[in-house]
Amino acid sequence: MRQIRPVELKAWLDDPQRPAPLLLDVREPWEFERCHIANASLVPMRSLSARLAELDPERETVVICHHGVRSYHVTRFLEQNGFSNVINLTGGVDAWAKEVDPAMPLY
């Protein structure tokens, strides 16, 4: 399984030469409302199976949650369902806030 640290993701997002990945946030709506990475798409983990057809299995996709545990499981699930370009955000939005965006609220 591929993993990426927040600072690596930030560098990727800031690089105009690289196509931006889909930022797939799998937290609950209340968590997403509290804080999220800009341009992330919310698909809560509990509804992922029903919404799988909305996702492109070929697109680079970074899976995001609070601390990286749910996103780890979702990344594995996606890999098992034919998604070849999925990456887990290690440490989740909590690590993003601590390493990249200190203005982001923590919870």
Give SS3 for 4. strand
Residue 103 DSSP label? T
Catalytic residue among 64, 65, 97, 100: 65
Residue 48 DSSP label? H
Q: Which residue has tokens 């939005």?
A: 93
Q: Is residue 65 flagged as an active site residue? A: yes
> Which residues are part of the catalytic machinery?
65
